[in-house]
Amino acid sequence: MSLNFIKLLIISIILSAILGFIGPQVFELLNFETTSTATQFAYGIASGAFFASLLTGLFLLLKPFNTSIQKKTLFVGNLAFKASERELRTLFSQYGEVFSIRLMTDRVTRKPRGYGFVEMDSKGAKKALAQLNEEEFMGRDLRVSPANDPSGQ
């Protein structure tokens, strides 16, 4: 689930609860004393759900349609065998948002193979490519290139 969906769900629940609790007071002010408190509470919850759905719909309509982040995967070679995902994330996050890191290991021995892939936003990937290729990291010169480039340059 996306973070925005979770935020909207929490807002909907809170709004429903608030309207559910203030619903009976509103009904008293409007002199609708013929309905029970439980019914008034149910009306409050239903109206909260309605307004929360309306709020969610308006948010989605007003949200720009082209907000998808362009991702780029970088090949990172000549890694020190002791390099961890955390250390690579720290290194690459200086240049942009890092979405994922995959360090390749041998299938049989599970030992590191000395290379991996870093998926990050495209602007950050360009910066990282320019800054980190041929740079020393943990005693070895990194080889950073776009992952989809078959020549490795």
CATH of the domain at 98: 3.30.70.330
Number of domains in the chain: 2
pLDDT at 28: 66
pTM of the model: 0.55
42 and 75 within one domain? no
Average pLDDT of the residues in 51-75: 73
**CA 145 from centroid of its chain's CA atoms:** 25
Chosen domain end from 43, 62, 81 = 62
Identify which of 150, 151, 104, 146 has the alpha carbon closest to the alpha carbon of residue 128: 146
Query: Is the confidence at residue 144, as pLDDT, over 80?
Result: yes
User: Could you please report the per-residue DSSP string of 91-112?
Assistant: HHTTTS-EEEEEEEE-TTT--E
Mean pLDDT of the region 136-147: 93
pLDDT at 138 over 70: yes
Residues 37 and 101 in one domain: no
Residue 139 pLDDT greater than 60, yes or no: yes
Parent domain of 96 = 71-146
Mean pLDDT of 1-11: 68
Least-confidence region, from 15-19, 64-68, 85-89: 64-68
Does residue 151 register a pLDDT over 60? no
CA dist., res. 106 & res. 71, Å (int): 27
Q: Tally the C-alpha atoms within 13 A of residue 131's C-alpha that lie toward its C-beta.
A: 12
153 inside domain: no
Confidence band, pLDDT 50/70/90 cuts, at residue 32: low
Domain boundary among 19, 43, 62: 62
Task: Answer with the residue of higher pLDDT: 77 or 8.
Answer: 77
Which residues have a Cβ under 8 Å from the Cβ of 117 and sit 6 or more positions away? Answer: 73, 74, 75, 76, 100, 101, 102, 104, 147
Q: Do 57 and 76 belong to one domain?
A: no
Question: What's residue 152's pLDDT?
Answer: 45
Q: What is the mean pLDDT of residues 66-86?
A: 87
- Cα first-last separation, the chain: 37
